[in-house]
Chain A
């Protein structure tokens, strides 16, 4: 999973040569073998590395503050989204929904790596949501829809239909 994600990220970043990855341990942590240095381990670490390699540092944030916020959501992705008990899904969605209430992207007004990795990581949850749940977490679905339509992001994941027109039944009697 993480490997396909990194593949999609490489394509998004326009990196010419695809890297070779392996995984490590029971949790299948991705490993990037580097010719001129030690191997890099961990999704966030490798993704941040790729972004710098592609000379797109703005995707990691333009200021120290923004970098910290991006970092925080990347960590959130690998700690919370990759490792939760079933009953926590609602809490995760509720909190994210509230966070996104006044934001376009996770780091505020600019698109960053946090959006990409959070989108990849939350896709399997959003896919499973019932219509009414999608409506309940409206800010999440709005953000999700936005990111999945962001040029070049989606790649390996199927699109999710998140909004629908509501048709009200006319009165009966």
Chain B
């Protein structure tokens, strides 16, 4: 057994006294205040008793109780009650008054704080009429209470008042040798003075609902040195001098000698769908934050993106909507552009892949690969519909399953038996468009010879991943591709909607979208400027960042670099590959067909400002692990972080200037408290920069919130609204606190700019901040400077955020919660609806999901799948025959029940389906 104590720690008095009094044998080790003895506690806590069984006791009272217990004096109701009172009532008061006595020299106020608990003690003692708290003999309660009071009552300047019984009892306990030794061992006869260090390190915790003096957020355990504080204060006071004027963006942006030239791309969103929140946070929004940050840092930066428009899915969509592929692209390109504009994604250029430049560049790369012998030919057997004059992609063929004879098997998989099918094996295949029978044709295709490029790729990867900032998942996914060995990869397709393959033997074919799409980065840049090669064929000067979700990694780290390496034209290859994990929606995934989730075009309709959306998505950014969007959490974060923390602070700071100082920033005379705050804020700013330099966008956002948290505490402790009514000294104080606060608000506007551009701009407008302030503070490692000097006139201050009410959020949850899955799937099975894509049949994806779950029963799921399909056909049949409603309802009910069982067997939560069933 071992007891850890520290000099000058008041809690050690009681445990040492108890140890001596009970005579329990135990080693004692004196450690420093900073020593972390208990592994699970994040702050150092002393004293600590290491029990023989290996557990740590870190509550002084429990240690004392334990020592008495092992020496035969078990706890009673009476001792429990005193110990509980000591911990909940006496101790907080004692610590508060010790602070006042030792650090502030306010003995009178300290006595006032102690009045209530001491009176309570006096009352109880005088009622009892025993020499000690409980009986004739000393108990654990006496030791604990005496030790708590000792430093105060033994202080000569502290007037405890007329408390005769308390004094009698106090002296009686204090006469015990064990108590005297313990007190001396901790205080060395220096009284309260000896506790100074301890008290400085343990700020008083006020009671609930009042912000604490100095409680640091979880991960901000930074302790300031005196030098650090002084330096921060000096830099701050020097103010805005000789800072570079903010440079206007002038298009076209081109690499410049002697600058950091950053080329930034966000994965090209596929044009045939409206992007959902997961797509937005995964690429364009993340890239936008980094682009805005880079521009603030003064980098010469170009941010390009565009819609990826070629491929089967577009052709398909065009057929569905009765438009030409080009019309579909035009329509959806505009939708995408509008959504990103609403989200304030500040592209330098937002282009598209269906341009002449795309054809030129893709064909050039193709010829270079061809000339250098990096392409292979191979023959592939495929179904071709003669009446439609085209080869059929798997999802365009239906036929009889070769295994189970199910008549409506798809080209890739049978829905009945679930087996994977090669489309050419289907019996009686049918073209889904014209219902004619396709024929088997062999078709010649080109393959990129990845194995031949593997060595070169690996060399480049080693360099890029070690020198650049690749996210963990990006490195991991890339490594696993290489470990399995690369195989030749088909780069052509028998389609019409694509970049034509220029080779004679491959007329009628287009490039496979994944060969083609990344070339879009180059062609979009080429559409932005004729001098695009200064960016894309300039690895010496240019640093390339790719932003994407993790499913896109292999194409950016393996396939596309191989195309560029093989083309041997000094291309700029990716230096930093930033991939996010997935964002889930509530407890499910985003699903367009089920109407679950929020899609880009709907975010606007929620009435929640774009900046708040940006904030919450970035707060949730699936950085390092998946995360989940939740409405209630969004409301919580809006109300607690934006409204109560950030908005509250900025608004208070501005309001004080307007109300108390007529809109002019007051004179500031910094004392230690102010300098400490400045240093703390400066430290957070440096963290922010370090994190964002490494593209840790979500983590850096926490620094911003920490800054305003520090600011709020600072205002709360210094109470300028009270001081302004006081004498000259107090008014001076109020001025300084207000001036420092409003400057912190100005810094907040700068660091917020990448995350919430509108709010950032509004703050600067309200404060009339100089335009160069943001750039000046975000240079180099980051400097917090007084950008609003005394006398500066601010504008009109108004609140920045609005509360999100519960009812509002509930309504949104309902609206976007996917309430119609059953109806929709039933509807989809009626013949009137031609779209097969909405059918909620279990696909390979669903089977995969189920395998993640321990409760899943794949065998049962397979049987149920068949039953569900059968029942679905039955319902459909009844509906076409216009059968009686009651009969249809009966069968629909059976269908729902089966689906519920299927969900269970797949290990999914059947809840929504079940509720729906009841409602019907």
Which A residues have a C-beta under 8 Å from some C-beta of B?
27, 29, 40-45, 48-49, 64-65, 67-69, 71-72, 75-76, 78-79, 82-88, 90-91, 94-96, 98-99, 101, 108, 128, 130-132, 164-173
Contacts and interface: CB of A to CB of B under 8 A. Distances in A.
B481 interface: no
Contact of B587 (A41, A84, A85, A131): A131
B206 A85 contact: yes
B577 to A, nearest CB: 17
Contacts of A165: 587, 853, 907-909
Contact of B57 (A72, A85, A87, A173): A72
Interface in B173-225: 205-212, 215, 217-218
A84 B77 contact: no
A169 B584 contact: yes
A68 B636 CA distance: 38
B552 interface: yes
Given A169-B584, A170-B848, 5 more contacts: A49-B77, A68-B63, A79-B87, A169-B590, A172-B551
B57 A45 contact: no
B464 interface: no
A78 B84 contact: yes
Contacts of B551: 171-173
B588 A167 contact: yes
A67 B69 contact: yes
B88 interface: yes
Given A64-B70, A65-B66, A94-B42, A164 B909 contact: yes
B632 interface: yes
A84 B208 contact: yes
Interface residues of B, number: 71
Contacts of B129: none
B53 interface: yes
B662 to A, nearest CB: 34
A169 B589 contact: yes
Can you list the 8 inter-chain pairs with the closest CB atoms, starting with the nearest?
Answer: A171-B551, A68-B66, A130-B633, A98-B40, A72-B62, A169-B589, A42-B84, A99-B40
Given A85-B210, A98-B40, A173-B270, A48 B69 contact: no
Interface stretch (B486-494, B498-506, B623-631): B623-631
A98 B58 CA distance: 15
Nearest to B854: A165
10 contacts: A48-B77, A49-B80, A68-B66, A75-B87, A85-B205, A98-B40, A165-B587, A168-B584, A169-B582, A169-B590
A48 B549 contact: no
Contacts of A49: 77, 80
Contacts of B628: 131-132
Contacts of A43: 84
Given A67-B69, A72-B58, A76-B59, A168 B849 contact: yes
Contact of B66 (A44, A67, A108, A173): A67
A167 B75 contact: no
B630 A71 contact: no
Contacts of B85: 41-42
B363 interface: no
Given A75-B87, A79-B87, A168 B582 contact: yes
B588 A68 contact: no
A171 to B, nearest CB: 4
A64 B587 CA distance: 45
Contacts of A68: 51, 57, 62-63, 65-66, 69
B881 interface: no
Contacts of B52: 65
B575 interface: no
B637 to A, nearest CB: 8
A75 B84 contact: yes
A78 B86 CA distance: 11
Question: Among the interface residues A40, A86, A88, A164, which one has the most CB atoms of the partner chain B within 10 A?
Answer: A86
A170 B75 CA distance: 59
Interface in B572-594: 582, 584, 587-590
Interface string B37-71: 00111110000000111010111011101100110
B215 A168 contact: no
A41 B92 CA distance: 18
Given A64-B66, A76-B59, A168-B582, A44 B630 contact: no
B571 to A, nearest CB: 23
Contacts of A67: 65-66, 69, 75
B632 A44 contact: no
A127 B878 CA distance: 47
A5 B75 CA distance: 22
B538 interface: no
B845 interface: yes
B387 interface: no
Contact of B632 (A45, A75, A98, A130): A130
B709 interface: yes
B589 A168 contact: yes
A172 to B, nearest CB: 7
A169 to B, nearest CB: 4
A173 B588 CA distance: 19
Nearest to B517: A173
Contacts of A95: 40-42
B278 interface: yes
Nearest to B84: A42
A127 to B, nearest CB: 11
B513 to A, nearest CB: 9
Contacts of B209: 85-86
A85 B207 CA distance: 7
A65 B55 contact: yes
Given A78-B84, A79-B88, A71 B208 contact: no
Contacts of A87: 211-212, 215, 217, 709
A98 B66 contact: no
B852 interface: yes
A90 B40 CA distance: 13
A85 B215 contact: yes
A125 to B, nearest CB: 13
